[in-house]
Amino acid sequence: MKKRLLIVESPAKIKTILKFLGNDYLLMATFGHVKDLPPKKIGVTMTEDSISLEYVPIENKDKVIAEICKTASKCSEVFLAPDPDREGEMIAWNIGQEIAKVIKDENAIHRISFNEITKSAVLQAIENPGEIDMQKVAAQQARRVLDRWVGYEVSPILWRKVAKGLSAGRVQSVALRLICDREMEIRNFKPEEYWSITGDFQHGESIISAALTHIGTKKAEVTNETDAKAIVDQIKKAPYTIDSITDKTRLKNALPPFMTSTLQQTAFNQLGFSVKKTMQLAQQLYEGIPMGQDAPVALITYMRTDSLRIADSALKQARDFISKQFGSSYLPPKANVFDGKKKKVAAQEAHEAVRPIDVTITPEIAKRHLQKDLARLYELIWKRFVASQMTPAQYAQRQVDIKGGQFTFRVTGSTLIFDGFLKVYFVDEDDEKENKVILPKDLAEKDPLALKKIDPKQHFTQPPPRFTEGSLVKEMEKNGIGRPSTYAAVLNTIRARSYTTLDERKRFVPTELGTLVTDLLVANLPDIMNISFTAHMEEDLDKIANGEMERDTLLREFYTTFQKDLKKFAGDKGKKPVKETNVRCPECKKANLVIRFGKTGEFLGCPNYPECKFTCNIERSPEGEIQCKEIEKPQLLDVACPNCGKPLRQLIGKFGPFIACSGYPECKYIHQTKAGFPCPQCGGDIVKRRWRGGTFWGCSNYPKCKFAVFGDIEETPCPLCKLPFLIKKVAKDGTVTLICSDKKCGYVKK
């Protein structure tokens, strides 16, 4: 009897799924995408009648495709089970097309999907197979073509106009613009002075601190020290009483369960995880982790989702758990339902929020089996989900207004009277601030108060903060830029291209290169750099996935305007754009220095080159002003040059620090660290050298002798072949391994 074949994306899922299925099934993985547009050309052909896409196997995927097709040809049925999103649909379509070439009956090929890797979900999917959703495929194709056009057609222009190795991206460049615009806001920000005035009032044995809120009927707005002093003088003269007391109960509702973007933001803010790390850990939790059993256990639902929907079975399990663990007072009369911000589209409706598959696997149980960071992320997801189905927290809130003449002071005290969902998920900053102000219970309206102290404080308005990974994801989501599943790749790219750096608080700072590229793209390609245009494009991609728009309609509309702007941008043969600074050239004093970009990065140079060859490294002052970075003077050493007798000095070169003669250029001696053994090939000295990849040991008779050893060495003879050294490798955990460099010998010591 022929077996049935089930194909997934990731090999990590195979063990998790295999335990649900009998011996009638074979499982194989595509290891992600198997085909894509060709790497060395655009691969998109547009005619008046159609737009055709060329797909080729991804590098090293020919063998994967061949093995899957060979196995499929011997099976009775094939179930395509990549992830339940557009990328997964494209993988299913690509591999399905290849399988169709070797299976006579195309009806034997099925598309199945499941939102969680559980026995019931997998078996239900197999029992109710479907077909490839070509609307999802079309949406993925449209996104891929848009990204290919922007990346392949804009990047070469940047290479020519700015520097080689740069890239542009439809979403990446807009995300970079957000960072650059925020930095410009910060630099242009002008602080405004304001004053707060707080009074300490005595009531019996108690002191009540309250803030000045109104002067007469107007809100108290004090903008300078002179006014503050005048107001304080008047405040001291007035008698004070309690004008009003307002008591009420305030409810704080539970937050919704996570979707991808909120999981990324919260994991960054609370756990310090990068977006990339969060998605990698979540992928492992979704695919399955060994939990003291032979087969892995999947712990969470699919982690790429815009949905806040919860399956009825999961709601029932959560409500039963809450009732048993915490009691009926923590369980609302009916399940809490949350509405997502996104429009409902066919591509997303099947998804759920990110939640634990089984709430009875508590964080305490998970910690026994999971690596630390996996356990922390699971705990966050578990607590957020369970708390989302619990009753609100309740606060007794008392607001007291204190009046004296024309001055009104106000204080609000808040006391937690029922913790509700906070019993599980007490992490919000607002929660931690509660209960700070405690008001006396015996207060009554018209009670007299004695002003004991008045405290005026000067403040200045603050500029908007730089973006962290968490806040940038939030901003991108708010503006509809990209999709949560792409955020990690976008953030990595803008850092990898040297467009941004991170400050000491892990906040994005655009480099001069990032700012220049952004300004260039905004000026020449206004549509693709327009935030609302990019968001509208995402909505259109959703429409394609929902069957409300044709793929080619979107692509043609985009390309018409894009090609027009692109031709103008590419046709501008002017000089490479440079950014002028306010720093006068210290050598020729004829012009201000400009920012240039070379192989080693950005630097300041004189625009009168080659007449004036002055250059220096860039640094910014605390106020954001560009200035020349002072070059550290070479440090003289108390060691004489063996050639000429002058002192040696410590220098910084292209590949790091080195020691050379201070008599250069007359004396060209460079100190080299020598090994205590001769070259095994020619008997010459073995010296330590530097290169871009680090350090290595090589023969001093190079290029006649090309003996070299990369990495560190230990001058201990190999006990087997008697070679006078061993290669030393140090693992991340500090473990040292000694290896003989002669592969034929094979000696290893740990």
Q: Which two tokens stand for residue 311?
A: 């399956």
Task: State the amino acid at position 212 in one-letter form.
Answer: L
Q: Is 487 a catalytic residue?
A: no
4-8/77-80 β-pairing: parallel
SS3 content of the chain, % helix, strand, coil (to 5): 35, 25, 40
In the numeric block, the tokens 């949350």 are attached to 338
Contact 314, 386 (CB under 8 A): no
The CA distances from residue 629 to 360, 450, 609, 616, 626, in Å, are 59, 58, 20, 7, 9
Q: Which two tokens stand for residue 656?
A: 């790091």
Helix (H, G, I), strand (E, B) or coil at 134: helix
The span from the CA of 431 to the CA of 421, in Å, is 11
* Residues 26-30: contacts with CB under 8 Å, at least 24 apart: 26/71, 26/75, 28/67, 28/68, 28/71, 30/64, 30/68, 30/82, 30/91, 30/95
Contact 484, 477 (CB under 8 A): yes
Q: Which two tokens stand for residue 678?
A: 């001769």
The span from the CA of 303 to the CA of 280, in Å, is 10
| Strand partners of residue 240 | 449
- From 240, 286, 302, 330, active-site residue: 302
The CA distances from residue 684 to 402, 620, 677, 687, 700, in Å, are 90, 48, 9, 9, 6
Q: Which residues touch 228 (CB under 8 Å, ≥6 apart)?
A: 195, 197, 222, 456, 458
Task: Give the active site residues.
Answer: 302
